[in-house]
Amino acid sequence: MGAAAVLGWLALTTLAPGAAHLRAGWRKTGLVLLSCHVAGLAALLAVALTTDNLLGSLTQDSWLIPITIGAVALGVVWLAVIVHSFMVLRPGRLRRREQIVTGTLAGLLAVAAVVPFGAVANYVWTSQKTLSGIFTGPDPADSPTQEGEEPPQDPWAGRERVNLLLLGGDADDNRTGVRTDSMNVASIDVKSGNTVLVSLPRNLENVRFRPGTPMAQRFPGGFRLPADPGGGRSDLLNSVWEYADAHPEMFGGRQHQGPKVLMDTIGYTLGLDIDWYALVNMWGFARLIDAIGGITITVEQDVVFGKYNEGLVKAGTRKLKGADAMWYARSRTFSDDYTRMRRQRCVLGALLGQADPATVLARFNRIALAAKELIRTDIPRSMLKNLVPLALTVKNAKVTSLQFVPPLIRTGYPDWDKIRELTAKAVRDSTAATSAVAASATPSASQGTSPKKSPKPSGPPTKGLTEGCGAA
């Protein structure tokens, strides 16, 4: 057998372990290795075809840890099989120069065959550590149930929509507390993924609190504090979290009540039940954008930023790095809160559309590290199994936005009833869009009966997530 044949059979062995042994006359060993390989592939295929919500399951430790261990073990076994295959092909019968060449190439081939197993182990282990570091909320499965009672089969407990509070905070090493300068509620239809993104301005004044809560008892007429020495205000909506954290005596001495209070306050303001929150640190957000290689955005006009207006994001269509994207989304210099809210929506839309699977895989470790530093949330780890497929549905569903900015809402004197009515209408329209699609796919019961036309929707000025982006 020549050098080319040895390398050829060795290459075949990396795809079909046992092939080289069969060629070398080790029939029993070759058949065992090949049978194990086929059985393993069949088992993987069976798992993929029979497991409901496979992607969601891959967020659970009960899957991630065995996969990591299995990938490492298989890598070691694969390496041993290739080395032994090389030996049974008896390269010692080749000329010395051919032995050196085949030995070197065989070593490189063995390393190349092990690399995918190492990559899988690395990705899965990194995912497990990242998820454990981010999702630390209480597990609903740990809630006490009556003896003999079965846990609910519906993870959404009969709800048609899930409401997530998405926050952008400005916490920093040089600043005490958290101010939530970006506040959006994503109301998601659990069946279709159709989503309404409701945006609330940071400077909403006289915020009302749910009756009976400690904040309502302290501020029965709305959230109002004396003006700051410099004339600014610390009683806007973006200060609710910070104020609640700073006054644990209002909550019987319990610390860190800011997230819970803000969730309840925004839920009461919109007339929605907020399920969970996710706080994104703005500087961490910049690192996430850098981790995916930047995002392409059309900057409609120059955006100035910095204490002395020394920074500039120039107008035009370009790929922005994390810091520039963050300042594009955050700057209010020569602008206002409402224009900034639109720019934030554009950045979110660009990130959602450009973070494709290939990019995520290629930059996985950097993205995972950035995400761990980026996100703070009370979403329970166990709920990821259900949220992952829902998030994939949202990516391909209809996403509209509703922004409570002037002239729709006067932030100094908000019309609370109008806010709730417009939110309810936007949610109904999103749900109706799902029903309309389902109805159009269902043939009428009678061929002689024409379907009734749905009334033209009217109400809240909702728009697409990236509508208006790149326009002045």
- Average pLDDT, stretch 360-371? 79
Instruction: Tell me if the bond preceding 407 is cis, omega within 30° of 0.
Output: yes
- Average pLDDT, stretch 356-376? 78
pLDDT tens across 328-340, in order? Answer: 888 888 888 778 8
- Average pLDDT, stretch 104-116? 92
Task: Please provide residue 143's backbone torsions phi and psi, each rounded to the nearest 5 degrees.
Answer: -65, 140
pLDDT band at 68 (very low <50, low <70, confident <90, very high): very high
pLDDT at 16 over 50: yes
Which tokens go with 399?
């996403």
pLDDT at 319 over 50: yes
Q: What is residue 331's predicted lDDT score, i.e. its pLDDT? A: 86
pTM of the predicted model, to two decimals? 0.74
Q: What is residue 245's predicted lDDT score, i.e. its pLDDT? A: 94
Higher pLDDT, 282 or 250: 250
- Average pLDDT, stretch 302-324? 88
User: How far apart, in whole angstroms, are the C-alpha atoms of residue 110 and residue 105?
Assistant: 9
Cβ–Cβ < 8 Å for 405, 201 = yes
Task: Please provide residue 375's backbone torsions phi and psi, each rounded to the nearest 5 degrees.
Answer: -110, 140
Residues 6+ apart with CB under 8 A from 307: none
Sheet holding 161-169, edge to edge: 135-137, 375-380, 276-281, 161-169, 180-189, 195-200, 399-403, 463-464
Cβ–Cβ < 8 Å for 439, 451 = yes
